[in-house]
């Protein structure tokens, strides 16, 4: 069975639900990460200090991450949210490289943000097609 999208094309239910699951797992993780920064959770402060971030920097970063994540979760603003999350995760990658920590996690997460959106949004696939 297929689902019809706003531009009258169909997406298989498997692709649609795979995209939704990937996107919602990303949303849940990013919202959790943002909330830990906002409430200044002890482990978050300690880990961020190793990256060079002070506790006073964490709350603004948490609110920025939360705003980007909310935009990503709303279908009408999901692409804007993905673009903003890409910038945020790029900064996380740079901070990890600078501190000598593994950088791949934030890169993989950025890929998952876009993959989830690409799988569930037919309009995005028309602008970012995969060619054979």
Residue 49 covered by a domain = yes
Its domain, for residue 18, covers 13-120
Residue 8 covered by a domain = no
Residue 4 has pLDDT above 70, yes or no: no
Residue 55 covered by a domain = yes
Closest C-alpha to 44, from 33, 60, 52: 33
Nearest-angstrom CA–CA distance, 77 and 58? 25
pTM: 0.87
Which has more pLDDT, 118 or 11?
Answer: 118
Closest C-alpha to 60, from 38, 29, 87: 38
8 A C-beta contact, residue 72 and residue 82: yes
Cα atoms found within 13 Å of the Cα of residue 114, Cβ hemisphere only: 16
Q: pLDDT, tens digit, for every residue of 14-41?
A: 999 999 999 999 999 999 999 999 999 9
Residue 2 covered by a domain = no
Residue 130 covered by a domain = no
**69 C-beta neighbours (distance < 10 Å), count:** 23
Can you tell me the mean pLDDT for 97-107? 93
Residue 126 covered by a domain = no
Residue 4 covered by a domain = no
Number of domains into which the chain is organized: 1
């Amino acid at each position: 069975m297929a689902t019809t999208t706003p531009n009258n094309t169909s997406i298989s239910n498997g692709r649609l639900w795979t995209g939704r699951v990937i996107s919602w797992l990303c949303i849940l993780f990013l919202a959790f990460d943002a909330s830990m920064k906002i409430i200044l959770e002890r482990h978050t402060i300690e880990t961020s200090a190793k990256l060079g971030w002070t506790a006073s920097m964490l709350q603004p970063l948490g609110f920025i991450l939360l705003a980007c994540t909310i935009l990503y979760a709303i279908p009408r603003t999901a692409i804007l949210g993905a673009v903003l999350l890409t910038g945020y995760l790029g900064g996380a990658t740079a901070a990890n490289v600078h501190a000598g920590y593994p950088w791949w996690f934030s890169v993989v997460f950025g890929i998952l943000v876009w993959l989830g959106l690409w799988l569930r949004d037919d309009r995005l696939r028309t602008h970012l097609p995969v060619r054979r």
